[in-house]
Amino acid sequence: MKKKGLLQKISLIMGVVSELLSLISLVLLIINYREHGVENVYSASFLASTFFFFTCGFVLLVIAKVNVPNLGFDGPEFDGSTFKDGTQKK
């Protein structure tokens, strides 16, 4: 398995935090819905926050789990038919 970079580790942590915030917002939505109903401004705000945190957490978790290819310039140089070290293209 390929080693994960620093930004992918941060994405994993922030994705978990975002999902926890989504659950907290959902609990507050249910409490506010029981007390004030759907017509209250806070209910809509908690619903929007729940959706936002859930979708952000989902995207961050996907970013953290994906295997990102190495797109750096560290590899051998290639001029079309041979590499810089003299080996031929297969």
| pTM beyond 0.85 | no
On the question of pLDDT at 52 being above 70, the answer is yes
Give the model's confidence band at 3: pLDDT under 50 very low, under 70 low, under 90 confident, else very high: confident
Q: What is the mean pLDDT of residues 23-50?
A: 93
Q: How far apart are the two ends of the chain, measured CA to CA in Å? A: 26
- The dihedrals phi and psi of 38, each to the nearest 5 degrees, come to -80, -25
Rg (CA), the chain: 23
What does the alpha-carbon distance between residue 36 and residue 31 come to, in Å, rounded to a whole number? 9
pLDDT of 15 reads 97
The residue with greater pLDDT, 50 or 82, is 50
Is-contact 54 19, C-beta < 8 A?
Answer: yes
Residues β-bridged to residue 37: none
**All structural domains of the chain with their residue ranges:** 18-64
